Amino acid sequence: MLKSLRNQLVIALGLVVSLFAIAQGVSSYQFCVAGMSAVLDLRMEQVASRMRGGFGDSIPAFPARGSQDARDIFIVIWKDGETVPVRSTEPSLTLPRDADAGFTSPEVNGEGWRLYTSREGDRTIQIAQRLSVRHEIEEAAATRTLWPIVVLIPLVWVAVIVVVSRSLRHLNQLGKQAQRIDANRLQALPLAGVPTELLPFVRSINLMIQRLARSIESERKFISDAAHELRTPLTALQLQADNLQRDIAPSNQERFRALQGGIARSSNLISQLLRLARADAPPVGAGMARAMESVDVGAAVVDAIADVLPIAMQRGIDIGADEMADARVHAIGLDIATVIKNLVGNAVRYTPDGGKIDLSTRLRDRMVEIEVADTGPGIDEALLPRVFDRFFRANTEIEGSGLGLSIVKAIVTRYGGTVSLRNRNDGQSGIVATVGLPLEADSATQP
């Protein structure tokens, strides 16, 4: 979680604000306690002042013991020459008559008191209040000042999350654009609106994309040039071998057929390389647009089945289509045919004798999905992410170039489609290959 820049910023800012809020709360609490203590002291001074103005005579000389609430202020009035108070709100309370003038905090009857003593003429006026009561009042008032902070801290965290998320929104958009970059979409990231601190990083990525594009283009050109250069001599070699076949002694015929097979495999590899070079080539604007047409997907599937049907019948493989939706795509017909034939060819190659291959086309979300399911041995789950890599072969015991699925992915990606490969999960072994292609704008949607 802490590897996320957003989470780091949220936690850092939230903690800083929370610490300041807590510090402010502690400070406010202490100030409020001190303020309430000063208010209570002022109240005691005011009561003493009133007692000097004649209100003291209204206090009974002999009140009943325990008649006053423990939370009240207690009043005791002494007179010179008298050994007991002449006025008192609680006769059981014996305050220190000789206390210093002003505020003191003596202990009376085993508990702390706040005492205010005022002397005027022959009279001594004492106002007392229990410290426990004062502390309770002060803490209650101070605690009320903490509620806004307690409520605001969660709100501040929410605000920090919102502000950080909005601040990083553009960075998230750049991340999504970077995720869409692949060999067929090597577009530089836009610089408009990028924060100043991120500009060097984005420019570095764009430079890397440019270098990668040049490298991939060099690789494509090399593959295309090499395939073209090798195709002619291999064709000539194939012709020469065919012409020599009748002159080969019967005892050498088997080795000669092995030679012909090697030449045929080399020619097939060269053809696959040329197809891959064409599939990898970037679209050429109007030239490609003119070559595109309305392609009937169902007809392309039927043609692919017809091409492999003789081999399938020879090996006892049951191949057919169980669901066919009427769908058309706007593409180059040869590209769609290559995609389907490569998938069907792979299925035939890996399905054992007597196995089964099912093809289907379905409409879903303005896409046509072409599915090829076989009953072959399947592929190790650890190897599935690599099946679209060039020259990768999951089963080296079966002959192949390792380019068929790479060509499929390159073509499908070029048209904005999707391709996936997974093991069957219906209790049978085998592979399910699924290709999704965008439907033609006016393609029929009725199955």
Task: Tell which residue, 359, 379, 349, 384, has the closest CA to residue 434.
Answer: 359
Tokens of 193: 């609106």
Rounded (10°) CA dihedral 345, 350, 355, 360: -40
Residue type, position 4, single letter: S
Strands (E), 28-72: none
Q: What is the DSSP letter of 385?
A: G
Residue 37 C-alpha from the chain's centroid? 53
**Confidence at residue 284, expressed as pLDDT on a 0 to 100 scale:** 45
Q: Which fold has domain 7-144?
A: Beta-Lactamase (3.30.450)
pLDDT value for 286: 46
DSSP 73: P
Question: What is the rounded end-to-end Cα distance, in angstroms, of the chain?
Answer: 48
Do residues 40 and 103 make contact, with C-beta atoms less than 8 angstroms apart?
no
Distant-in-sequence contacts of 422-429, Cβ < 8 A, 24+ apart = 422/384, 423/378, 423/379, 423/381, 423/384, 424/373, 424/378, 428/375, 429/375, 429/376, 429/377, 429/378
Query: Do 263 and 234 meet the contact criterion of CB atoms below 8 Å apart?
Result: yes
Burial of 263 (0-12, 13-18, 19+ CB in 10 A): middle
User: E-strand spans in 278-353?
Assistant: 293-296, 318-324, 328-331
Answer whether 0.95 is exceeded by the pTM: no
- For the chain, the domains span 7-144, 197-280, 285-438
Residue for token pair 């169902």: 298
Query: Is the sign of the CA dihedral 279, 285, 291, 294 positive or negative?
Result: positive
What DSSP designation does 116 have? E
Full pLDDT tens readout for the chain, 447 residues = 556 777 888 888 888 888 888 888 888 888 899 999 999 999 888 888 888 766 766 777 666 666 677 788 888 888 887 878 878 887 778 888 888 889 998 988 888 999 999 888 888 888 899 999 989 988 888 888 888 888 888 888 888 888 888 877 777 777 777 777 766 667 788 877 777 777 888 888 888 888 887 777 776 666 666 666 566 676 777 777 777 777 777 777 777 777 777 777 777 666 766 666 666 665 544 455 666 788 888 888 888 888 888 888 888 988 887 778 888 898 888 888 888 888 888 888 888 899 899 898 889 888 899 999 999 888 888 888 888 877 777 766 666 667 778 888 888 888 888 899 889 888 888 889 999 999 887 554 444
**Structure tokens, 126:** 């004492």
Q: Which amino acid type is present at position 378?
A: G
- Domain 197-280 falls under CATH 1.10.287.130: yes
* 158 Cβ neighbours under 8 A, 6+ residues apart: none
**For residue 120, what pLDDT is reported?**
82
Say how far apart CA 277 and CA 216 lie, in whole Å.
11
- Please say whether the beta carbons of 392 and 386 come within 8 A: yes
Closest CA to 189 of 173, 212, 211: 173
pLDDT at 42: 92
Using DSSP bridges, classify how beta strands 318-324 and 356-364 pair: parallel, antiparallel or unpaired.
Answer: parallel
71 and 83 in contact (C-beta within 8 Å)?
no
Which CATH number does the domain 285-438 belong to among 2.40.430.10, 3.30.565.10, 3.40.630.10, 3.30.300.30? Answer: 3.30.565.10
Quickly list DSSP for 269-293: HHHHHHHHHHHHSPP-HHHHHHH-E
Measured CA distances, 161 to 294, 348, 373 (Å): 50, 55, 47
Give the pLDDT confidence score for residue 434 in this predicted structure: 92
Phi then psi dihedrals of residue 7, to 5 deg: -65, -40
pLDDT of residue 444: 44
Tell me which residue of 362, 361, 405 sits closest to 383, measured CA to CA: 405
* Strand arrangement, sheet containing 431-438: 318-324, 356-364, 367-374, 431-438, 418-423
Alpha-carbon distance of 360 to 436, in angstroms, equals: 12
